[in-house]
Every structure is written in structure tokens, then in C-alpha cells.
């Protein structure tokens, strides 16, 4: 029996649109991407002043109002449902729409508040979007696979249960590339999710729908997953904040995944949002649910107020004594040099930190080629068997962006073990290098964070993502990383200089891919990387640096 996967995909695509109330459909023709790249302003014409007011706030300010009864959950939910519906019509960022259920939930929350004069939890009435890996009762999970269409979750993912306990309102699930193994978001259901700030470009992946939706303020914050960069890439491509925590902090239990059980490099869950403090709100709220009693892979490490306080004090003191904070910068990873907008973002941050008086050292780590190779081996260790199976359910063809392993890479248990040893040895090597910087910082500690690109380019031109090593080395190390916005690609400044000193084939091709005109307007952010389990610290530092960079640019 041949399944007509194209028809199935078309029908599913139509059903997403059909789930959007008629009143929220855009009736006028939408300009093409070449006519209008940036739709972040365009979307506003379809919203009321009140909806703009609500959706213009970050998650922290919204939660302040919804948990204090100043704003009702229903009003906030409706505003975000409306804006998300518009966002989807502009950039194809949604896989699932369940606005009615959301509004019912919001009504229950309002009733609770009216009766008890207090919120259900710290996220009371806050809409939260979810990457299409999380199971929500009564809603499908396709993860971009045509063969999954029609499968409805019976039980909800643990994170979903916790978000409901916290009072969050769930209303949509966002697009992903089938397999999750791509830095762009493409599948046969929604086709392609474009970048709201430059629709000629990708929104990133694999949590691409999250990135695009939040950039259009169709969500104040949401949860993605990251095994090779999949939270950070869409965050940075969309000018957002996003965190890749170490494995074992946010519960993955009961969520769909690719290559489940591959545990050389674990996929982790992290939030994306418009501000660092929103990430903290979401992260801390989840930990307050004690997920370690509900997910065997979560570690009993509550939100560490003491570390938050210590880092806060360090940051505060650094105004008077900036030498108390020390950073490393890595302008390139020795494999691919970044495009001009990213190189400029690096320069901007380095200069800002130096001007503030912080010690900044050059990062000279163990070879990142080893990290990239080991991560690739982990991602292809099953020889593509899992991916082949899921594409095979419908017979659909993988999009060209999808990394498909070959059977030749299928490892034996002995080879997996050898890979695990190599990974640990590399982690040890990197750890010792990190320790060694204590001799250079003048603070008595190693560097407080490493600042580097997340990708060699801003939001990428479709099918031109050639090197994910800037994010995947963090996954191999299981380090913490927070992405923060810095600037935007500007064709008047970011002029490409002639080069012949290519570090690799990917470097040469990436160099040749640069087109100042096409990239114009794309967000250009960076990441700050900390060691394992440095979430409290990295969030504080990303917030600090993000603020200082914004101040400096004004």
C-alpha cells in the first residue's frame, strides 16, 4: 500500500489554517518576502491597541499582571492566540493550534483567581508556546513527520503537566524540521518557516517555529530542545534570548524525540524568550515543580538562589571594580570564520566589555575539530535507522537540509563505548583548559564565561547551513549556554573582505555564501558559554552583557 504522503501533508497544512478562527484570517494578500522582508512591524496592523499593549510585554511583565489579577488570563490568552494566528499566516510557524482549549483553561484560571484571590502558580495566566515534541492531551504530535499525522497523545509530557500546575496557558505547538536534525525548519507539512525579520532567510532550527513565533511576539516565551544547537540557533537567528542548560535540569520525560535512547549526547530542553529575565522566570518555575521526582533523568538540583545572589553581587561590585569579572572571547573556532555581521557582533561585545574594564582573554581551546567529529559520530551512531523508520512510515522524502546518516556509520556497542570514552577525554581536556585560565584572569577564578558565535552567519540563507560546530561543541561538553542579541546585519557596514586563508572547505563555502544585501536586517547575536550546571550564573551574565551592549549601541 502506498500512502499518498503529499495529500496527507497538504490536508494537515490546511487543517492548521482551518483551526484559526475566521476573524483572525488575513484577508488581504500578504506581500512576498522580496517585497517585504521584515514582517515584525507589518503584523501590528491586524491587532488592536490593547492586544499590542499586552503582547508588547515580556513574560515577566505579563506574569506580574496576570498573577496579581491586573490582567485576566482570558484577555492575555486571546491576544496571544490572535497574534500567533497572524504569525503563522506570515511565516508558517505553527504545527498545532488549540486556541479554544486555551481560552477554556484561561477561564478556569480567572475563576480560580476570583475565588481564591491568588494565582495558581508563578506562571498563572501566562501563555507559553511549545515545540512540537511535547504531547498535549487531544492534540497531535507530528514532529514534522507526515507519517505521524493522526497520532494523538494520550498522556501529556511531564513538562506540560508542570506548566499547567504553574498556571501557564498552552495554546499552540510550533514547527520543527522532521528529524530535528537541521538548523532550518522545513517539513512537508508547513513547508518552510521563514525568518520574521528577513523572510529571505531561515528562522533557524530545530526549534525554529518557537524562534519565529516569539520574534513576532506571538508568544512571550516557549520551550524548545537542543541537541546540537536547536534552542540557540533559532534564538540567535531571531534576536532572542535562549538557554541550553546542561542535561538533567528540565524534564524531558514523556516528550517525543529523535533517536531516543542515544545517550552519548543528550537532547535537553530550554526556554526561548525576548528577555533573559523571562528565561529565568520559566526555568525557575519549572524547577519549583521538583521535576526530579517525576523524571528519572533530572537531577535534584533546585534553582540555586545562593549562586544567583553571588553572581548578582559580582555584577554589582563590578561597576566599582570591573576587574572582578573576566571573560574569554573566541572570534572563530578554527574551522569556519564568521561572516562580517557576526565578526562585528563579536568585536562589539569585546569592546564593550573592555570599556567596562573587565578582563577579556583570547580563548585558545583544545581543537574544536575533535568536538565536531565526536558530535557527528554521536548523531549518526545508529546509521540513520531511527530517521529512516520515521520517514518510512509515510514514504516521504527527506528535505535536502536534513542530515541523513548512512548505514556505514552504524556503530556496535563496543564502538559506542569507545566514542563515550573519547567524549569524556575531550571533556576532561576542555575542563583542564578552562581551569588553566585562572592564571590569566586576575580574579583568582577561571573565566566567568566564554563569548563566541552561535553560527558563522546570521539567520542563514536556505540550504546554506554548512557548519554547526559553534553550537555542537557545547552539547558535546554538556555545558550551559545562553544566547543574547547584539546587533543586526547591515549591508552598509558588513562588507566582506577578500580572503584566501580558508580554514576548511566549509569555511570557503561559507565565505562565498555571504551576501551583504540578502543578509541585511538579520539579527546577529552571540552566546555566552559556561561550564556544566552554570545556568543561574550564565543567565545573570547574559542579562548583564545584553544590557550593556544595548546601552553601548544607543
Residues annotated catalytic, as ranges: 131, 206, 230
Range in contact with a copy of itself (rule: CB under 8 A) among 278-286, 292-300, 329-337, 366-374: 292-300
> What would the DSSP string read from start to end of 456-477?
SSSSPPTT-----HHHHHHHHH
Interface with a copy of itself by CB under 8 A: which range of 68-76, 102-110, 188-196, 413-421?
A: 413-421
As measured in angstroms, the least distance from the Cβ of 380 to a copy of itself is 9
Among residues 55, 89, 202, 264, the one that binds a copy of itself under rule CB under 8 A: 264
Nearer to a copy of itself among residue 195 and residue 258 (C-beta): 258
487 and 553 in contact (C-beta within 8 Å)?
yes
User: What value, to the nearest 5°, has the Cα angle with vertex 338 and ends 513 and 280?
Assistant: 120
Using CB under 8 A, which of the segments 142-150, 352-360, 425-433, 541-549 binds a copy of itself? 425-433
Pick from 30, 103, 356, 416: which binds a copy of itself (CB under 8 A)?
416
CB of 257 to a copy of itself, least distance (A): 10
Q: Tell me whether residue 197 or residue 258 sits nearer to a copy of itself (CB atom).
A: 258
Which of 32, 406, 412, 500 forms a contact with a copy of itself (CB under 8 A)?
412
Binding of residue 112 to a copy of itself (CB under 8 A): no
Does position 444 bind a copy of itself by CB under 8 A? no
The contacts found for 137-143 with CB under 8 angstroms, 24 or more apart, are 138/98, 138/101, 139/96, 139/98, 139/173, 140/95, 140/96, 141/96, 141/173, 141/256, 142/12, 142/95, 142/189, 143/176, 143/178, 143/180, 143/256, 143/258, 143/390
Least CB distance from residue 73 to a copy of itself, whole Å? 29
Q: Minimum CB separation from a copy of itself for residue 262, in Å?
A: 5
Show Cβ contacts of residue 500 under 8 Å, excluding neighbours closer than 6 positions.
Answer: none
Residue identified by cell 476573524 is: 23
Q: Is 165 in the site for a copy of itself (CB under 8 A)?
A: no
CA atoms within 13 A on the CB side of 361: 22
Residue 152 interacting with a copy of itself (CB under 8 A): no
What does the per-residue mask of binding to a copy of itself show for 349-388, with x meaning CB under 8 A?
--------------------------------xxx-xx--
**Closest listed residue to residue 347, CA positions, set 365, 330, 364:** 330
Question: Judged by CB under 8 A, how many residues of this single chain contact a copy of itself?
Answer: 43
Under a CB-based contact definition with an 8 Å cutoff, are residues 231 and 183 in contact?
no
Nearest Cα neighbor of 238 from 91, 26, 30 is 91
Q: Which string of DSSP letters, residue by residue, matches 235-295? A: HHHTT-EEEEPPTTSS--TT---SSTT--SS--EEEEEESSHHHHHHHHHHHHTT-GGGT-
Binding to a copy of itself by residue 296, rule CB under 8 A? yes
Kindly state the smallest distance separating residue 47's Cβ from a copy of itself, in Å: 43
CA distance to 21, 75, 196, 545, per residue, from 57 (Å): 24, 14, 18, 21
Which residue number, 58 or 382, has a Cβ lying nearer to a copy of itself? 382
Q: Is position 14 an interface residue for a copy of itself (rule: CB under 8 A)? A: no
Q: How far is the CB of 483 from a copy of itself (least distance, A)?
A: 22
Only one residue has cell 499586552, namely 54
Q: Is 438 exposed, middle or buried (0-12, 13-18, 19+ CB in 10 A)?
A: middle
Task: Tell me which residues in 530-549 interact with a copy of itself (CB under 8 A).
Answer: 532-533
* Residue of 132, 226, 295, 507 that binds a copy of itself (CB under 8 A): 295
From candidates 103, 419, 440, 552, binder to a copy of itself by CB under 8 A: 419
From candidates 26, 297, 503, 518, binder to a copy of itself by CB under 8 A: 297
CA atoms within 13 A on the CB side of 50: 7
Beta bridge partners of residue 469, listed in sequence order: none
Residue 342 CA to residue 408 CA, distance in Å, equals 36
Hey, which residues between 461 and 490 contact a copy of itself (CB under 8 A)? 477-478
Q: Which stretch binds a copy of itself (CB under 8 A): 128-136, 297-305, 344-352, 546-554?
A: 297-305
Q: Is 179 an interacting residue with respect to a copy of itself (CB under 8 A)?
A: no
Q: List the binding residues.
A: 180, 206, 227-230
Residues that bind a copy of itself (CB under 8 A): 248, 253, 259-264, 292-297, 299-301, 381-383, 385-386, 410-421, 424, 427-428, 431, 435, 477-478, 532-533
Amino acid at each position: 500500500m502506498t500512502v499518498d504522503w503529499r495529500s496527507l501533508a497538504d490536508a494537515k497544512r490546511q487543517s492548521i489554517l482551518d483551526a484559526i478562527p475566521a476573524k483572525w484570517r488575513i484577508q488581504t494578500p500578504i506581500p512576498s518576502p522580496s517585497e517585504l522582508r521584515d514582517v515584525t512591524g507589518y503584523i501590528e496592523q491586524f491587532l488592536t491597541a490593547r492586544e499590542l499593549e499586552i503582547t508588547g510585554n515580556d513574560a515577566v511583565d505579563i506574569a506580574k499582571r496576570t498573577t496579581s489579577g491586573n490582567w485576566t488570563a482570558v484577555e492575555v490568552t486571546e491576544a496571544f492566540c490572535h497574534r500567533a494566528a497572524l504569525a503563522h499566516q506570515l511565516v508558517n510557524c505553527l504545527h498545532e493550534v488549540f486556541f479554544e482549549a486555551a481560552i477554556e483553561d484561561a477561564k478556569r484560571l480567572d475563576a480560580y483567581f476570583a475565588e481564591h484571590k491568588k494565582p495558581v502558580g508563578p506562571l498563572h495566566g501566562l501563555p507559553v508556546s511549545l515545540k512540537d515534541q511535547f504531547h498535549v492531551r487531544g492534540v497531535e504530535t507530528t514532529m514534522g513527520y507526515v507519517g505521524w499525522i493522526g497520532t494523538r497523545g494520550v498522556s501529556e509530557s511531564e513538562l506540560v503537566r508542570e506548566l499547567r500546575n504553574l498556571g501557564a496557558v498552552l495554546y499552540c505547538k510550533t514547527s520543527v524540521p522532521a528529524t530535528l536534525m537541521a538548523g532550518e525548519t522545513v517539513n512537508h507539512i508547513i513547508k518552510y518557516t521563514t525568518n520574521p525579520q528577513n523572510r529571505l532567510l531561515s528562522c533557524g532550527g530545530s526549534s525554529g517555529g518557537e524562534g519565529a513565533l516569539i520574534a513576532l511576539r506571538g508568544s512571550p516565551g516557549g520551550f524548545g530542545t537542543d541537541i546540537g544547537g536547536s534552542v540557540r540557533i533559532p534564538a540567535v537567528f531571531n534576536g532572542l534570548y535562549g538557554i541550553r542548560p546542561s542535561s538533567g535540569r528540565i524534564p524531558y520525560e514523556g516528550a517525543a524525540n529523535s533517536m531516543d535512547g542515544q545517550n552519548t549526547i543528550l537532547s535537553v530542553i530550554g526556554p526561548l524568550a525576548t528577555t533573559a529575565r523571562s528565561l529565568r522566570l520559566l526555568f525557575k518555575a519549572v524547577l519549583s515543580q521538583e521535576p526530579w521526582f517525576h523524571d528519572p533523568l533530572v537531577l535534584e538540583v533546585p534553582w540555586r538562589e545562593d549562586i544567583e545572589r553571588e553572581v548578582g553581587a559580582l555584577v554589582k561590585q563590578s561597576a566599582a571594580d570591573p576587574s572582578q569579572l573576566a571573560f574569554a572571547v573566541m572570534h572563530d573556532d578554527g574551522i569556519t570564520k564568521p561572516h562580517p555581521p557576526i565578526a562585528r557582533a563579536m568585536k562589539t561585545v569585546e569592546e564593550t566589555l573592555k570599556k567596562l574594564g573587565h578582563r577579556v582573554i583570547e580563548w585558545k581551546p583544545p581543537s574544536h575539530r575533535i568536538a565536531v567529529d565526536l558530535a557527528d559520530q554521536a548523531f549518526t551512531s545508529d546509521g540513520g535507522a531511527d530517521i529512516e523508520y520515521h520517514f518510512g512510515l509515510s514514504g516521504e522524502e527527506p528535505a535536502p537540509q536534513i542530515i541523513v546518516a548512512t548505514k556505514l556509520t552504524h556503530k556496535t556497542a563496543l564502538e559506542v563505548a569507545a566514542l563515550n570514552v573519547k567524549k569524556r577525554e575531550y571533556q576532561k581536556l576542555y575542563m583542564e583548559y578552562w581551569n588553566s585560565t585562572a592564571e590569566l584572569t586576575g580574579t583568582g577564578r577561571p573565566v566567568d564565561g566564554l563569548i563566541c558565535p552561535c553560527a558563522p552567519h546570521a539567520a542563514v540563507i536556505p540550504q546554506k547551513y554548512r557548519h554547526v560546530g559553534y553550537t555542537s561543541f557545547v552539547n558535546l561538553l554538556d555545558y550551559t549556554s545562553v544566547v543574547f542579541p547584539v546587533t543586526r546585519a547591515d549591508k552598509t557596514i558588513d562588507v566582506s573582505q577578500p580572503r584566501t586563508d580558508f580554514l576548511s572547505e566549509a569555511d570557503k563555502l561559507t565565505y562565498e555564501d555571504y551576501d551583504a544585501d540578502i543578509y541585511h536586517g538579520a539579527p546577529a547575536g552571540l552566546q555566552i558559554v559556561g561550564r556544566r550546571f552554570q545556568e543561574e550564573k550564565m543567565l545573570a551574565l547574559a542579562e548583564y552583557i545584553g544590557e550593556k551592549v544595548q546601552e553601548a549601541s544607543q
